[in-house]
Structure 1
Amino acid sequence: MTAMAEGHPPPHALLRPGIAIPFLIVALIWGSTWFVILGQNDAAPASWSITWRFLIATPAMFAVAAAMRRPLRLNAAGHRLAVLVGVTQFCGNYNFVYRAEEYLTSGIVAVMIGLLLVPNTILARVVLGQVITRRFAIGSAIAIAGIGLLLLHEARMAPLGGQVWLGVLLALAAMLCASISNVMQANETGKSLPTVSLLAWAMLYGTACDAVLAWLIAGPPVLPTSAAYWWGTAYLAIAGSVVTFPMYYTLIRQIGAGRASYNGVVVIVIAMLISTLFESYRWSLLAGIGALLALAGLVVALRARKPLT
């Protein structure tokens, strides 16, 4: 995270085209991926779906790095960081997310992951010594209250009864894994490496971890025959990974992990809209108030005059 090293961005840095455009592209794509992930859960074990996703994404990311003429050779510290990012982001995070969607609607999982700014900022404070502002703390408290109401609504409505809380725990684990990756890739070692080069190696290590985990949990490889499944996998691999992660990690280095994770505001709106249209998500007064509080809290933090992380 380089916001401090590169100087404080102005209060409305997110409105600059160079930041706003990739910020919105990432949010729009990731907002749609939640529903695609949900559609894959019945076609193959989650671990193999994740493996196929990154088996497609990894060579594509190496190709992007080569096309951009970025050096692919990493030193030992670079490879250690790539392993950490690969295991947390491209293995742990996604394995927890896919399984969370077995117990929660895609919209609810998206809302929870939308609070990524909380662990991002806390870890940035602990690991990188960056300041947490009062406005951020207030916004986070408001957003957490909103998420609590949304989850209470889900617990009342979900047919799986108590298992909804297993989905909550899985989503929280996914958020923690993503946060570790977000913060650590922006340390001094990460800042010295081209983003696409680090991502290419991280995806390679993450894919290897995914394959081993899939074999241990689900047995031999499962190859669905549905064309829709593979179109969805290709979309998740190319649009949802190769296009978005270089943009997102660059945003983290430009404006900090906390501010970059604010794209979750837009992700939540898109994911909940899709969940309403295609998953028959049932709104209630409780859910509506919860959603408004969650968005209000994120907006309060977004309007902070100083970089959060």
Structure 2
Amino acid sequence: MKPFDYFLYGMTAFAWSTSWLPLRWQLGVVAPEVSLFWRFLIAGILMMTFTALSGGTLRLPLAIHLRVAILSLFLFCANFTLFYYGAFNLSSGLLAVVFSTASLMVLTIKSAIDREWPQLQLMIAVVFGILGVGLIFLPELENGHAPLISLALCFGGTLIFSLGNILSGRLQSKNISVISANSWGMLYGSAFLAMISLMRGHSFIIEPTWKYLGGLAWLSTISSVIAFTCYLTLIGRIGPGRASYITVIFPVLALLISQRAEAFEWTIFAIFGLILVIAGNTLMARSVPRQ
């Protein structure tokens, strides 16, 4: 890889690793749906501005707009809503570990859709991932059923995100600009979140604290715009196989951040569980074609 590829790797890993603590800063006063509305409204406007300034096109056929709107439910609405609600009872590092299983889910779902028996390497990777997450969450069982419900919500969000990735891949096969589609997708996602918020009677407020505002700014720019742009560029330069090795890196960094900021404890279960998750993600990355 060239130096710029390492830069993209570093930026993406940094952005994804640092996303989860600001996410937890959004919880409390403002309803999760409203916080997500602000996040993707800001991110969508920034993406459109970036696309326009970089000479890209924002024009999409009407039929594609409909597909992008449907896709936004998976990538910029339902998945994150479940994660935000799940975050009430889980540390930021544990959220990252669950999300890192998305790549395993994508390949498993693809094998099912294509009616192909998954490779042995992929099956082992999935088993490692499930066992690893289970070991990491084992100490959480002492806190009652709430962490298990949160875990289920986060796995549901990861599953929805994985389905969105597959739908996005089919959209890309029609030579639709990913940047343009996601610029519109973020705005469509914010529109759906606004409707959900109105139906649930939530107020469109913003918590006037540095944590909330700083977290919102970070999630809108670093986590949504910069991370997305860097990751797509990396895939185009080195292929999805090697790019997916990022899922090996960012859970470790996120847990280290959680240890520092939230007093996350490295139990023997957490250590062995993380090793299994990393091993599973590594096997998964090696099973993906590099080009």
**TM-score normalised according to structure 1 size:** 0.85
| Paired residues, number | 291
After superposition, the Cα gap between the structure-2 partners of 1:186 and 1:261, relative to the gap in structure 1 and judged at 3 Å, is: same
Mapped partners of 1:27, 1:82: distance in 2: 26
Mapped partners of 1:283, 1:92: distance in 2: 31
Instruction: State whether residues 139 and 298 of structure 1, in contact with CA within 8 Å, keep that contact through their aligned partners in structure 2.
Output: yes
Of 253, 257, 263, 1:270 maps to: 253
Q: Which residue of 1 aligns with 2:289?
A: 307
- Percent identity over the alignment is 28
Instruction: State whether residues 47 and 210 of structure 1, in contact with CA within 8 Å, keep that contact through their aligned partners in structure 2.
Output: yes
> SS where residue 169 of structure 2 aligns?
coil
After superposition, the Cα gap between the structure-2 partners of 1:266 and 1:191, relative to the gap in structure 1 and judged at 3 Å, is: farther
Q: Which residue of 1 aligns with 2:73?
A: 87
Mapped partners of 2:10, 2:124: distance in 1: 25
Mapped partners of 2:106, 2:283: distance in 1: 17
Q: Which residue of 2 aligns with 1:98?
A: 84
Mapped partners of 1:111, 1:189: distance in 2: 28
Deviations 1:246-270 (A, max 9, x none): 3334555677767644422211011
Q: Which residue of 2 aligns with 1:6?
A: none
Whether 2:88 is the aligned partner of 1:116: answer no
Alignment of 1:120-159 (within 5 A): 120-127=106-113, 132-156=118-142, 158=143
After superposition, the Cα gap between the structure-2 partners of 1:132 and 1:42, relative to the gap in structure 1 and judged at 3 Å, is: same
After superposition, the Cα gap between the structure-2 partners of 1:80 and 1:20, relative to the gap in structure 1 and judged at 3 Å, is: farther
Give the deviation of 1:41 after TM superposition.
0.7
Q: Which residue of 2 aligns with 1:207?
A: 190
Letter in structure 2 aligned against 1:232: G
Runs of 5+ in structure 1 lacking a partner? 1-14
Give the deviation of 1:86 after TM superposition.
1.1
Q: Which residue of 2 aligns with 1:58?
A: 44
Instruction: State whether residues 25 and 211 of structure 2, in contact with CA within 8 Å, keep that contact through their aligned partners in structure 1.
Output: no
Mapped partners of 1:59, 1:257: distance in 2: 27
Mapped partners of 1:145, 1:84: distance in 2: 33
Q: Which residue of 2 aligns with 1:166?
A: 149
89-98 or 190-199: bigger deviation: 190-199
Computed over aligned residues only, the root mean square deviation of the Cα atoms, in angstroms, reads 2.5
Mapped partners of 2:174, 2:271: distance in 1: 41
Give the deviation of 1:292 after TM superposition.
1.5
Instruction: State whether residues 83 and 154 of structure 2, in contact with CA within 8 Å, keep that contact through their aligned partners in structure 1.
Output: yes
Instruction: State whether residues 83 and 206 of structure 1, in contact with CA within 8 Å, keep that contact through their aligned partners in structure 2.
Output: yes
Mapped partners of 2:71, 2:32: distance in 1: 20
Mapped partners of 1:289, 1:189: distance in 2: 38
Q: Which residue of 2 aligns with 1:290?
A: 273
**TM-score normalised according to structure 2 size:** 0.90
Instruction: State whether residues 45 and 218 of structure 1, in contact with CA within 8 Å, keep that contact through their aligned partners in structure 2.
Output: no
Instruction: State whether residues 150 and 286 of structure 1, in contact with CA within 8 Å, keep that contact through their aligned partners in structure 2.
Output: yes
Instruction: State whether residues 147 and 294 of structure 1, in contact with CA within 8 Å, keep that contact through their aligned partners in structure 2.
Output: yes
Mapped partners of 1:26, 1:34: distance in 2: 14
